[in-house]
Each structure stands twice: as C-alpha cells, then as structure tokens.
A and B are shown apart, each in its own frame.
Chain A
Amino acid sequence: MENLKNQAGFNRLLKKLLLKMKLTLTIFLFCLAGAAASTYSQNTRLDIKLENGNMVELIKQIEAKSEFMFYYQKDELSELDDLTVEANNATVMEILDQVTKGTGFDYTVIERYIVVRKVGDDFGNDFLATARENIAAQQRAVSGRVTDSGNQPLPGVTVVIKGTTQGTVTNADGDYTLTNVPDDATLVFSFVGMRTQEVVVGNQTNINVSMEEETIGIEEVVAIGYGVQRKETLSGSVSAIQSEEIISTKSENLINNIQGKVPGLQIRQRTGEPGVFDNLVSIRGYGNPLIVIDGVTRDGVSEFAQLNPDDVESISILKDASAAIYGMNAANGVIIVTTKKGKRGEMSVSYSGLYGIKGATGLEQTVDAYTYRLMRNEMDKNIRNAPYYSEEILEKYRLGEPGYTDTDWIDLCLYDWVSQQQHTVSVRGGSEKVRYFSSLGYTEDNGLLKSDIQKYRRYNFRSTTTADLSDNLELNVSVSGRFSEQQQPRNDFLWVFKPIMVNDRGQNYHTIANEEHMTALPPENTNPYAMMHEEWDGYRRNNVFQYQSTLEIIYKTPFIEGLKATGLAAYDGNIDNSARLQKAYGLYDYYTDQRQTTYGSDRYQSTMFLYNRLHLRGQLDYNLSVNEHNFNFLAVTELTRTRSDRLQGERYYSDLYTHDIIDQGSSTTATNSGYRRFGILAAYLARVNYDYKSKYLLEAVARYDGSYRYAPAQRWAFFPSISLGWRISEESFISENLPFIDNLKLRVSYGESGRDVGNAFEYIAGYSGSSASAYAFNPGELTVGMTAPGVVNENLTWITSETSNIGIDFDFWNGKFGGAIDVFQRKNTGLLATRIQSVPNTFGASFPQENIDSDLNHGIEIMFSHRGKIGSDISYKVSANTTYSRLKRLHVERAEFNSSWDRWRNGNENRYTGRMLNHEYDGRYTSLEQYETAPLMGGTQGNSRMLPGSFAIIDMDGNGIINNDDRTYNHWSFGNINPPLQYGLTLAGTYKTFDLNVLLQGAALYTINFRNNDIWGYGRYPSLHERFLDRWHTKNPEGDPYDPTTEWIEGYYPALRTNTSNTTDGMRVDVWTPPATYLRLKSVEVGYNLPQGFARKIGMKNARLFLNGFNLYTFTRKELKQIDPEKQEYDWDANLTYPLMKSFNLGLNLNF
C-alpha cells in the first residue's frame, strides 16, 4: 500500500514535473509566437456565439479567436455543459464571469494565461507561477557598457531592440540602460565604422558589448563614389579592405601592403629602390586607376603609395560601373581611400612603430677574377679563337699576385642588410560636439649601396576635426601633408649597378700605385666605387612637400527630412625641389696609374616644380523611404582647376666648389628652362539608388563631364551607368528552405566612363619651338626654330570605356564558406592613334591624334573566404583570391599588311596582348654528328659553329634553315607587364593573446628576359655570372670542342662563347626567357597582446608586440631566384633594376 501510495505520489510528482516542463515550453513557444507584443491587453474584445455547447467548446472558441491560453482539466469542465453564450464585443472576463457564475468554478487571468478550476482547487498554481515568472522576466530592464576593441568606452552607440523602434544611445561612458526589455528580445548594437552586433537578451540584465571595427561582412558600410553604402545593398563590384588588413603587411609603400589582398587589384612591384614608388597598379588589367582620397581626386598612384598606412581607415576599390560615377577619368576603376576620423570618447593616444632589416630577395653573383679568365679562354676556344689570357697571366691570378687579385665588386659596393624604421603617433577622441584625429608618422628607408648615399625619409602628418556647429550643421576640416627626402647617387642606379655586375674583378677601384686614384674600369670606363660616393661623383636629392586640405560643410535640412547639402573645397599642392650635383674627377689606368680620362663635369642643377589644385563641390543627398521602398538621390556639381610650374636652372663651376647653390656656379654657364600649365575639369552628376526591402537593388548614374583639353564642341561628355542587384537569400523560398544561406546576391552592371587623354589644344593650330630644331646663324648664337603645326583635329575627344560586370556574392553557414565571383569586360573605343592610311606619305603634314583604335579587356576574379574557430581559443580566417585578365586589341591603326603572312606575323588586331614571337625549343643537341642532319643556321657558316649543348630549334617552315621566320607566338611576353594572372591567400588567426597574419601572393603568365647580351650574356663583358658555370663544357678542359670524339659534360646553359652568332645559343627560348610564375610568402606577422591587466598596470589600454617578415620566400624556377621574378627588367630589359627587398621587422602597437 505504502508502496502503492509512494508509487502514486511518485507518479503524481512525475506528472507535475512533466506538466511543468511542457507548460514552460508551451509558454515559451507562446512568447515566441506572440511575437514582440509585450503586453496582451486584457481588454481584448471578442464576439462569441455558442449554443448548447460545453465549456471546453467555449474555451476552444476563445482560444481560436484570441491569443488567450486556457489551462484546465477536461474531465472537470464537462460539468459545465449546455451553455449558450452570445457575446458581442465582450471581454474575456465578461464572458467567463457569465458562464462560471454560481457553478463552483472560477478562473484566474494572468496576462493571457487563464486557469479555469474549481473554487479553492490548487490545480494550475504551477502554471500560474511559471507564467508570472516569464512575464516578469519579459519586462525586465537591461543595462551595460559598450566598448571598442581597445576596451575604450564607446559613446553614441545605438542600442535597439530588434524589430522595434525602441532603443537608446550610449552615453559618454559607453553606458546604456533599456527598460521594458522582453526576454525574447535581441539587442542590436550599431555604430558607424563598427560591426553591428546582435545579442539575445535571454535572462541577462547586464550586457556588455565590445564592438569590433568593421571587417568584411554583410553588415559592412563601404565607401563608394560620393558617399557610403551598406555592403548588402551594393549592386556594383566593390571590394574593400580595412585598416587592420592593410597594416598586417609592413613596408614603406602602401601599395605593397595591399598586394595580393584584394581580388581584381593587380600589382607588380618593379623595384625596391628607396624613395621610388612606381609599382604597376591596375584594376583588372585596365591601367592606372583613379585615386580618390577622402572624397577628392588627388594625385596618382605614387602619392597613394606614400600615404601613411596607419592613417588609413579603409580602401575601397570600384571595379565596374560603380566607378563610372567618377566619369571622365574613371575608366580604369577607382581606388577610394578613407582616412581615419575623430570619434566621440576620451582621448586615445596610439603609437605604432617598427624597426627592421632588409636585404635583396635576389642578386646575381659573379665569379672571381681567376675563374672568369679560365672561362674566357674556354669561350675563345669554343669559337676557335686563340685564348685571350696567356698561361702566365692566369697563373698570376691563380696565385693572386699583387696587381692580380680579385675584387668582389658586389661585396665592395653593396650591403647584405640595411635598416628601415617606421613610427606613427596618433591622437583620437572627441566630445559630443567635436571629434578629432591627428597623427604624425616617420618612415626611414635605406639603400644597399655601402656609401649610404641612398636614403629615403618621409614625414606624414594628418589632422582632421569634425565639429557639430549646430544640430543640423557639421563642419569637417582636414589637413594633411607629406615631407619626403630622397637621396640617390648622381647617376641612375642602373649606371652604378651595371659596372658592379660587369666590371672585371681582376682590377680594383684604385690603381695599384695610388689608393687615391680611382680607376677607369672596363668595360664601362666608369668606377662604381666613385660613382656611389658623394665626394667623388655628386648626388641627386629630391625634396617633396605635399599638402592636402579639405573643408566640408554638411547641412541636414530640418525642413525636409532626409535632405542633406554638402559644400566641399579642397586645396592641394606639391612643392618638389630636386637638386643634382655632378663632380668631375680623374680616372686612372689600373696598371700604369696614367690619368686616362676626366669623368663627369662640375655642375649643379636645381629644379623647382610647383603644382596645385583647387577642387570645389556642391552636393545634395536625399533619402526617402516609403513602405520599404528606399530611395537615395544624389546630385553633385564640381570643378577642378590645376596649375603646374616648373623651373630648372643649371650652372657649371670651375675650380672651386663651395655649395650646391646655383649662384655659387659660374654665371656665364647658366642655363635654365621652365613652363607653366593650367587645366580645368568640371562635372555635373546625379545618382539614384533604390532598393526594396534590401532585396531588389538598383543604382543609376548620369554624369556630364567637361575637360579644357578639347575643342568647345567636344568638351562635354555624358556617361551613364546602371547596376542591378538581387539578394536571392532574402527571398522566402531560400530563407525557408535553405537556411544555411546567409547571403546570396546576384549583381549585374553596365557603365560608360571616359579617359581624358590626348594633347591639350590639339584643335588649335600653333607653332612651337624646341632646341632640337634650332640653328646657329652666328658663332655661339642660337635661334630656336619654330615648328609648323600639323593638321589640327577639332574632333579629338576622350576615350570611352564600356564596362560590364556580372557577379555573385555568397556567404554560407555563417561565414564558413563565403566568396564572390565576378566576370567582367571592358571595351575601350576612341583610343588615340595617328591616322596612317588616308593620305600618301608625301603629304608632309603630321596627323594629329585621333580617336581611332579600340581594345577589349576581359577576365574573371574569384574570392573565397572561410571563417572558423577551433576550440574556444583559436579563431581564424582564410581568404583566397585570384584575378585573370587579358587585353585584346580590336582595331589598331596601321599601314596595310603586305601579305597574310605579314598580318599573322606583325598584326595585332583581334589578338590578345602578352604573347611574343619565339623560337620553339626542342631540347639540346648532344653531339656534333647531330648537326649533319640538323636544320642549318644559315649564313655562310652553316652549322660549323654549333657545339654540343646548343638548343635544338624546330624548323617551323621546314625549309631546312633556322631563322627568324621560324618563330611563333608560343610564349608569354616579358617587360613592362602587370601579369595577367595574379593570386593571393590571406590567413589570419588569433590564439588567446597571440595573433597571426600570413599572406601568400603570386603571379603567372609572363616571362623574365635575361638573355640581354649587354649584361647577362657571357663573353661580352669581363665578368661572368655564377650561374653560367652550369654549362656544357668539355670533360677535359684541354679538349678540342670541335672534335666529335671529345667528351662533354652537360649543363643548363649552352657552351660559353664570346659571341653566339651562327649558333642557336642566343635564340630566345625558355632558357633565356623562362616563365616567371611564382608564389611568394609575401608577409607574415605574429603579434602578442600583453594581458589587459598587465597593460593597465603600466598605464596602457593595450599593448601589442609583433614580429613581421616581408617577401620572405619565393617559390619559383631555380634560375629566377637570383633575380626575383616579380622585379621588372626595366630599361633595355637589362635586369639592372634595384633588387626587391625582403625584410624582418620588430614592432610595437601601444594604446594609452
């Protein structure tokens, strides 16, 4: 019995428990179903009609018609039957009162929960308690503090209960309080520049949030032309990169910092020379993009490269029709740089800095004097010449007798490692009304030459203030500038570098007899040691002071909601002062100490270049939302005036050199030159953005652009563009069926834009003078000749570019797999060319530039990303991107082809660029016998000069002779090329207080030329590069190379010879122009954040220590490692460019 009782008690308990659980769940679901309604009016009125029904039926009816929920025991209620109720517009209480009166039943209402039970029964108490609890919880207040990632209180953050208009803004301490927060609520924290966060309230009453600065994500706001836009409503192809991603690579050049990180942005670093910022930058292969800094079109790529990376908040890259809003100069795409601005909150002082060492990524090495001489004799032997060096001389070099020693020019002139450093201090903060950001940066870069003559120093400053002048009026004032100093040897680096690489190592920089006497060294008869020293040869210095100032007033009209007017004036300038001092000095013969020549002349040259630009703009923005139809209208009018002045002066000085000042030279030798130029551009533009529920997106732009350059009738251009977007993920059929799809957007765009090109004033006939057409009628008296004008072109106008893009953005499983794929095309029409075909060449007049040619770029870019966490400590992000873009010429103005062969051979119409004519390589000949049947080299020599190891070349035309006609377009080109295929991979991760950033970057589909006989070919100069030792040579050094029985040892290079004429050895095949495909570990950064507590103890909000490496390792062909495949061959394809640098840096980020 006891057992049974117990059993029954247990059952009852279990029942109650289950019931309670069920109830809780039910109520919870109710709460959810009841959506956000926080109170359910007990005054809800109902119409009920029941005839002879029972209580349960009544309840069912009420439940069906309202949101009330009844709790009752069905058996019990069966007592209440035969009820007839007819209620019109009655409350629940009225109805229940009516039916329970005098029945022994009563009811209790809590919110919308109603218990019907017998009077005095405790049935349903549990239910009521749970309901009470939940209701109380739903209505609680939530408070907390919002901080930034540096743990700084963040005032002004908007906190809203999701789906309502109920919300507040954090105060100056970052604190907020929200009352009446239902516990099913989600709080949305948002702040410009920060990633919007959502927190489910649950049962929390104190919610602290640390806001993260915005990174690529769906909620992001990105800079677009003349404004910003939420990324989710973007319909154009725009990539953005944020501050922390930019500075995870460290170099003196901002462009290097973003290389490989942005899909569609193609970059090639051409040189590592301090103070030279000439990267090839192109969006999708289009050419130099337009650079817009803080809303204003500023100077070009080199200016962009010299911005202080720590000042940059974000960079947006407009790649398709989205760029067309910039009109006349936007055909190559636009890079928009947004610098850091002030923000409300207490003052925050930051320091970031690094110190590093850097060295060449690759450098050819030369063989020593003795080895060179052995090789030189081998070369002579290989062309059947008598050996150049006698045994006697060889022996002297072998023993290193005085005067016959080896000089390692590379070691003598170049450091292995040099230092660099960068420091930035910035202050940021603001009160309710005024926000400010100021920074000061210093960058130091040093060159490899051991004389320390190569230097680059840069000082950047920036100061911006934003002030709310009144509720409606905001003022932005921003001033920034750069002062940079570059110092170089007087000669271009190439001319210093060349002798270092090709000088005879058998001589020294001073004569044997006199250490003070610089030698004239073969083959250049220059002396690199003297050339790199200021005291011998002079120097070049370039000081640039560049400033930019912007004043912007924004007026939010109180009388029309959503209307904003902006007036902007920007005044920028450049003062560029360069100086060149050249000194004359004697060069002596190494052996005899005889003065051989005087090198250079004594003179000083100074150049002053002034440039300024005034930009004025008026802008109206109007936002309008009607029933989830969102409109944004923009109208802009702008004007840019530029002026440049140049003045150059030069004087010789004779015996006495005092200072590098023009006046200190001899006035009789003064020469000078100069010019002045003006330019004006103007534009009107309008844009409308429309979206419906952020689901269907449309942007349309019309721009009307004018340039001073053209004839009045041709000045104004109209550029329309349109883009459409469809966020498929917002459609219910996706969101309901494929919930893992967080974002899926389809974009299509088409736009026209232009390029303001061609000679200015081509429409005006006018004579122009030049010293190249001068004539002396009397001794020493020069009359500058005036050149007659050619035919004028009144129709010259801009190049029109039509850009199309189809793209898709996606994000699945909450960042686990995201990406974007874009297919793009740009057609240029009206490219400049000079007409050839219309008149005979006896006409005589030069033809003007006309808009004749056309071309087409197209390609694809792909970006994938993945975010994830491993355990709770490791979070990481991987992002990979690649861009492939090719240029095809459509129309090319040229003289008629002579034949179809001529067209195939020399034409490039309808042909992709980037390919070149080459011989087809077919391995090597390994023995002399093979030449008896091999195709002939032609000439009178036949194959009599060929040796084992020479290239077998396919005789394409089968005529038995190898000549230029056998070449085909089987090779990728070399030279000034931004590689058509580029790729990058970024890996970012954090582990506890450590963070790691790795960037891999690479390029392909181009080649490097190092056949250039002038420098790298052997035998031409008295030096030899180490790699050529890997050559075909006779096993026995004394062996006769032309004896068929001589044994050979194989090598990578053909047999060395002083000249390759009548052989295939010099022919351009892969050995000389290898594919430059590479993948490099571009940067690695490991950071360590000091624990917060410790940082605070030493007075800092946070502190981070990092170790960074740049250009660390390159995966590429073996023979390119000594050159660096990214570096460009440059002048004469000589590969004498300054090497690219790898660097190791140690740095600190501090925040006070």
Chain B
Amino acid sequence: MNRKFLYIIGLSLVLSITNCTDMLELEPLDKVSSEQLLSSQGGIKTLLARIYNRMPVEDFNYVPNSGFNRRGWSGIGGSILMTSFYTDESYRSDGTGIGPVTNHYWPYDDIREVNLFFESLEQVKETMRESQYLQLKSEAHFIRAYMYFALAKRYGGVPIIDRVLDSEYVPGSDNSNLYIPRSTEKATWEFILNECDLAIENLPETLSSEDGIYRASKWAAYGLKSRAALFAASVAKYWENAPLTGEAVNQNLVGMNSSDASFFYQACLDASATIINNSGKSLYMPNPATPQDAANNFYNLFLTDNNEILFKKHFLDGTVVANQGHSFDVFYNPAQTNPGFHKFGRFNPTLDIVDIFENYTDNGLGESAKIITREDGNEDYTIANPTEIDINLPFKKYDNLIDPFLDKDARMWASIIVPGSDWKGVRIIIQGGLIKSTGEKLIYTDGSATGLDGNTYYSYGGEGITSYSGFRGLGQGDDANYTSSGFSIKKYLREGVSVIGQMESSDTDWIDIRLAEIYLNYAEATVESGQGDLTLAAKLINDLRRRAGHQDNIPLTLENVLKERRIELAFEGKRYWDLVRRRDFHQLFAQTRRKALIPILDLRDENPKYIFVRANNYNDENAGGRTFQPYMYYLPIPGRNTNDLVENPQY
C-alpha cells in the first residue's frame, strides 16, 4: 500500500512536469531592446554606424545595375561594374552597354532608420552633452541629405518623408495616410539643400580621432551642398535640351524652369566659396617640380590621407573582416599582375579619354593632344573591325609600345596604365595582333610568327596567357579578362600592395568629396551663371593644371572647365552624373561606338615596329553602337503597384 502511494506520487510528478504556463517563456539572445541600446554612448554609436553604412556612396562596392555595398558573389553576380563603365571614359572588357543605372535605389527603409535615429536622439537628449546631441543631429541631416540627393538625381522629385511612420500604420486599414505623394523636383532639391544647411549648422570643422575621422565635418556638408546645388542648377538650365512630356512633367515632378537655375548656381557658389575661403583645405602637392613628380603626386593623392579630402569612406581587408573590403585590386589589375581571382583586368579606359589629355606644349590653349597613329595626320580614321585593317595605310611606326604616350599629361600617367608601362615590376604588354613578315595578319587571335630577325613573336605579345594583358577572350562574355580598349585602370589601384586573389581583399579608402571637385564646381557655376568671381574661377582651374605640372594659364571657358573636369575626376564615378545633369548623354551616345587603341606588331621590318590602330570597341561595334534615350535621364519609380506614385515619362 505504501509502495502504491509512492507510485502515485511519482506518476503525478511526471505528469506535472509541464504543468506551468510560463514554461515557454524565453528571451531572445540576439536582439537588443531600444532601452538597452540608448542607455549607453556605445549604443548611440552603433546606431550612427548603421546609418553611415547605409549612405549611398558610389564607391568601389557600388554596382550600378545592382546597388550599393554589393560584395561577394551576391554583389557582383557576374557583373563587375563601376559607374564609369556607363560612360565614354571606360568600359568593361566583356562589354557594358550605355544606359541608365538600373539598381532601383529606393532607400525608404534607410530613410526610416535615419528618422528613427532622430527619434532616438530625442529620447536620450537629456543624458548627453548638448554639443554632442547637436552634432549627432546634424550628422543625421547630412546623411538624410545624401540619401535624398541620390534619389533626386535618379528620379527627380520624390516623396519626402522626414518622420517615422510606424505609429501611423494600422493593420487591416487602407492606410491612405501613408501614401505620401512625390514632391516636385524643385522642392526636392530645396529640401536637400535645406538638409545640408541643417547639417552644416552643428557639424565640427575638424574631426578628432576620438570621434572618428571618417565622419562628416562641416566641410563635407558644404561639399555635398556644392555638388547637389550644381546638379539642380544644371537640370534647371539644361532640362530643355531633352524635354519630356507626361503626367510627371505636368505636375513638375521632373524638370525645372531655367529661371530656377540661378538660385541653385548661387547656392553652389556660396557653398563652394565657403570651403575655398574658410576650410583651410588645400590641394595635395600643388606645385610639383616636374611632370614626373606631378604624376606620382596625383597617383598618391588617392592612396594617402591628405588635406584635399572633404569626405572619405574607409575599408578594411574583407578577407579578414567579412563585409568590410572591396575588390578593386582583384578585379582591375591587368592580367599580368592578377592577384589570382578568376575575374580580373576588366577596367578598360577608352581611347576617347586618353585622347583628351593634354601634353606639355603649355601654350596657354590647353588643347587636348590626340594620340598620333598616322603619318598623314588623319586621326579621324577609325576601323570597325581591326582584323580587316589595310596594312598599307600610312600608320606611324613606333619602336616601343609606350612611345605614343610619352609626352602626355601627368594625370594620364597617374590614372591609366598604357601599353608598355611598367607596373608592379612587370612590363605591361598590351598588343592586339601582329603582321607577319609576309604581310599576313594575325589579329585578335592567339598565334605566333617568326620575324625577319629569326625571333618568334606572339600575336598578343607573349607566349603564355600570363605574359600579356590585352585582347584575349574578346566576345567571351564573362571570361573576358583582358583589356579590349588597349588601356588599363591605374587610379586607385595599388602598386606597392599585393593582395590575395580573393574578393574583398582591398582596403583602399574611397575619396568621396575632394577639394578639386569643389574648384571645378565653382568654376562651372561661375561660367554657367555669370554670378561668381571670374578671376577666382580661372585661378582654380589653373591651380589644378599647375598641380598636374602645367606651367601656363588657360582661359576660363565652359569647354575648358568641362575638359578639366573630365581629366581631373576621371574614373571617380562623376562623369555619368555630369552627362546626366547637363543632358549631354543623349547627344553623346546615339549609336556611338567607344574607341579602343589596338597596338599591332609589324614584322615586315627588319626591326619589328608597332603600329597603333584606332578601332571601335569590340562590344559596342557588335551591339551596333550605344544609345542613350532622353527618357533615361529619369529612372522608373520602383514598386508603383504598391505606392500609387506618378510614374516618370515613358515608363
């Protein structure tokens, strides 16, 4: 009986193990509540890091057709791209079309986080120093301005949402209050400039390493304002060059009146002048002794910390710290110095931009010096398919691959690897073919021939696929890893640092805003509006040329300003937006073929010589040329079936 009693107790114990309603209560271990987060300075910093991370900086990890901060396979997805490839200054070796950036940037989630940050700041206002509170608030304005700028330049006017809408969402209702319409393009630009002003108000002039040197300073905010105002002014002034029609135009959601231009030009001038006069920022190495020094300086400008920089973004080696690196050195070294990844050598500067650079005649005119390929001066000759060249045309014969480039602007030497350059201790061989001693052509194909001197010469300039950097794999789609333009990128590429052949192994900083751009903004705003200081503008242009080793002064003309801008800011991602804001794109690209320079070894001479053939870009030619349509100046509004916004014209 006693035992029976024990059994019953045991049984009821077993049955009661789950007899507790709270037994399912657990706490999430990977979530932090806002109370926890906002109770410490460190917490605020993590929130700040997050919104900085979300800034749409068009850096090394910006892939125009897929988005910002794209890394790893998900990021590149087979399309390793820079905005620069969408312009006339470069293309990818396997071919990139011209067209709008199509990444559907629509960062209202990020904007919500910035708005949440404002709310969070109010919650902890009492617990921090006022100066710190104000600085953080201004920083958030800076970031919000940056985001709206990225929106405005893509879509024109957009819905302006400057508060957190969470509490206004009612599940199950029609939520009509959440459908905030697009503002006009003008109002959107005004909002951006106003945000810049709010940012400027309380940002510090100098950044201490205590707070972090990669944060926004007052000058970064001025710089952003200068850039945004110039953009808005240009749209207002040049809208009529590519006018559109439609509901969005009727409601002024895209487009502005030319009468609006002067306001924005003035804003640009004011912001730029403040930087120029008050920031204490200066050009890096403004007075080089020789063009050679100038080239070194200009190359180093992008690899060192210096006083020319207004805003930059930092990277860490992503093979060590995941998601923090970029892959510039991996993707864009020429084939001969490929660090070991299977996609490389893809950044191909065009002959178009190489032609633009001056030489050092320094006659005060600042004319471009086209590469000389012919004895008869006919540099308009361009062939569609180099395999079909007439070898008896009067091509100029050079002894060395590098000879045609020798007298070019220091900035070309700092920005572009030309055939025959020495890079990382390797002579970079870029050769598109050879002409056998018999006159037979071996162009765009792998092969060899014996010269009259009895030596064996290879069509691509070397025997193995690692001994040259050009023209192999044309038309091979994703496996085209050899330059098809005749040139390779140098700006931002590190010569002294070797990375491992993996994605994200680079940690070079991205310079987002530098003083040279502000100079160019000021000069452009001045010549376009007639409102600025002409003398100062001319000086600024020539200061930039002086830094590149030029000794003369050229006159302040719109053409000179724009040419300087192309040269100075080449491959920095600015060209695409310059073509957009000034409505030059559709005029520049109408079944247009970008150009390549094909070095060909001529074995008909006792001493083999090089000829250089101007040719159309292989892929542009195959595609029948590249065209940019006026409607592409604005991108389609993403997700219209959810947001009921007015669509941009022709979508």
A interface with B by C-beta (< 8 Å): 385-390, 392-393, 520, 522-526, 555, 557-559, 565, 567, 584, 587, 589-592, 594, 596-601, 616-618, 620, 637-639, 652, 669, 671, 675-680, 682-684, 706-708, 712, 715, 760-761, 764-769, 771-789, 791, 836-846, 895-896, 898, 940, 1020-1021, 1058-1059
Contacts and interface: CB of A to CB of B under 8 A. Distances in A.
Nearest to A636: B15
B324 A774 contact: yes
B31 interface: yes
Contacts of A592: 462-464, 466-467
B49 A775 contact: yes
Contacts of A791: 166, 169
Contacts of A596: 338, 340, 466
A1018 to B, nearest CB: 13
Lowest 4 CB-CB distances: which A-B pairs, in order? Answer: A777-B212, A766-B31, A785-B50, A844-B112
Contacts of A639: 17-18, 23
B108 A786 contact: no
Contact of B444 (A386, A526, A567): A386
B47 interface: yes
Contacts of B323: 771-772, 774
B508 to A, nearest CB: 12
B324 A776 contact: yes
Given A597-B338, A761-B28, A1059-B475, A782 B447 contact: no
A1049 to B, nearest CB: 26
B89 interface: no
Contact of B639 (A638, A678, A708, A841): A841
A702 B634 CA distance: 60
B108 A842 contact: yes
A767 B28 CA distance: 11
B50 A567 contact: no
Contacts of B212: 777-778, 781
Interface of B: 4, 7, 10-11, 14-19, 23-26, 28-34, 37, 43, 45-54, 69, 106, 108-113, 115-116, 159, 161, 165-166, 169, 171-172, 175, 178-180, 209, 211-215, 314-316, 319-324, 338-342, 387, 442-448, 462-467, 475-477, 479, 498, 500-502, 624, 638-639, 641-645
Contacts of A526: 342
Given A842-B159, A845-B166, A895-B641, A675 B322 contact: no
Contact of B47 (A706, A785, A839): A785
B33 A766 contact: yes
A1141 B106 CA distance: 49
Contact of A589 (B19, B50, B214, B466): B466
B14 A618 contact: yes
A784 B49 contact: yes
B103 to A, nearest CB: 15
B494 to A, nearest CB: 16
B26 A678 contact: yes
Contacts of A600: 500
B116 A788 contact: yes
Contacts of B502: 601
A599 B501 contact: yes
A650 B562 CA distance: 50
Contacts of B324: 771, 774, 776, 782
B475 A675 contact: no
A597 B501 contact: yes
Given A768-B31, A780-B316, A775 B53 contact: yes
Contacts of A591: 463-464, 467
Contacts of B464: 589-592, 594
B642 A895 contact: yes
Contacts of A788: 47, 50, 112-113, 116
Contacts of A767: 31-34, 37, 46-47
A8 B465 CA distance: 121
Nearest to A393: B447
Q: Which of A565, A1021, A1059 has the most CB of B within 10 A?
A: A565
B29 A675 contact: yes
A392 B448 contact: yes
The B contact surface, by secondary structure, is: loop
Given A390-B447, A639-B18, A774-B323, A769 B25 contact: no
B31 to A, nearest CB: 3
B46 A783 contact: yes
Contacts of A765: 33-34
A524 B25 CA distance: 52
A788 B18 CA distance: 36
Contacts of A594: 464, 466-467
Contact of A773 (B53, B159, B179): B53
Given A594-B467, A775-B50, A839-B169, A766 B447 contact: no
Nearest to A778: B212
Given A601-B319, A779-B314, 16 more contacts: A390-B442, A559-B4, A565-B7, A592-B462, A598-B340, A618-B15, A639-B18, A766-B31, A767-B47, A773-B53, A774-B53, A777-B45, A786-B43, A787-B113, A841-B638, A845-B112
Contact of A523 (B15, B443, B479, B500): B479
A677 B29 contact: yes
Given A842-B108, A844-B165, A1059 B49 contact: no
Nearest to B215: A777
A616 B323 CA distance: 43
Contacts of A706: 23-24
A777 B476 contact: no
Contacts of A385: 475
A772 B7 CA distance: 57
A1138 to B, nearest CB: 21
B467 A840 contact: no
A190 to B, nearest CB: 30
A776 B321 CA distance: 12
A594 B464 CA distance: 9
B34 A845 contact: no
Q: Which of B53, B213, B387 has the most CB of A within 10 A?
A: B53
A176 to B, nearest CB: 34
B52 A895 contact: no
Contacts of A772: 69, 323
Nearest to A850: B171
A607 to B, nearest CB: 15
Contacts of B29: 675-678
Contacts of A777: 45, 49, 52, 211-215
Contacts of A776: 214, 314-316, 324
Contact of B26 (A679, A771, A786): A679
Contacts of A760: 26, 28
Nearest to A473: B7
10 contacts: A386-B444, A567-B11, A592-B463, A620-B15, A680-B23, A706-B23, A786-B43, A839-B169, A844-B112, A844-B113
Contacts of A769: 32, 46
A675 B31 CA distance: 12
Given A589-B465, A591-B463, A680-B26, A778 B213 contact: yes
Given A591-B464, A777-B212, A584 B26 contact: no
Contact of B54 (A715, A773, A940): A773
A786 B47 contact: yes
A549 B462 CA distance: 67
Contacts of B641: 895-896, 898
Contacts of A708: 24-26
Nearest to B112: A844
A559 B8 CA distance: 12
A637 B15 contact: yes
A934 B166 CA distance: 57
Q: Which of A596, A684, A837 has the most CB of B within 10 A?
A: A596
Nearest to A391: B447
A623 to B, nearest CB: 17
A557 B23 CA distance: 30
A282 B120 CA distance: 48
A567 B32 contact: no
